[in-house]
């Protein structure tokens, strides 16, 4: 989950939005290890001031770029521990 400050284009109020990225599902293999995909989501879905719908695309455009160096380091550390 990532937190983004969204500025409403209607009333210019700032709303703190929690963004959860999409998760791919696992649809093959034994049924007990399968699970459905989940779409990306935001909370709240409406501006806290004027109740205008919050644009998911605008929130996604404000997300920070992933830090692949940290992810690679985490993977190396995990591999060393296991």
Residue 11 DSSP class: T
Q: pLDDT tens digits for 29-56?
A: 999 989 999 999 999 999 989 999 999 9
Domain count, the chain: 1
Model confidence over 49-75: pLDDT tens digits? 999 999 999 999 988 887 666 667 777
Looking at residue 67, its pLDDT comes to 66
pLDDT at 1 over 90: no
**Predicted local distance difference test score (pLDDT) of residue 71:** 67
SS3 content of the chain, % helix, strand, coil (to 5): 30, 25, 45
Question: Residue 77: pLDDT above 90?
Answer: no
CA pair distance 82, 78, nearest whole angstrom: 6
- Domain range holding 47? 2-81
pLDDT number for residue 42? 95
């Amino acid at each position: 989950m990532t937190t983004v400050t969204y500025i409403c284009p209607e009333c210019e109020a700032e709303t703190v939005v929690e963004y959860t990225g999409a998760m791919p599902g696992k649809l093959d293999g034994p049924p007990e290890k399968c699970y459905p995909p989940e779409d990306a989501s935001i909370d709240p879905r409406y501006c806290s001031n004027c109740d205008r719908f919050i644009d998911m695309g605008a929130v996604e455009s404000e997300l920070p770029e992933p830090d692949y160096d940290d992810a690679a380091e985490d993977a190396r550390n995990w591999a060393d521990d296991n």
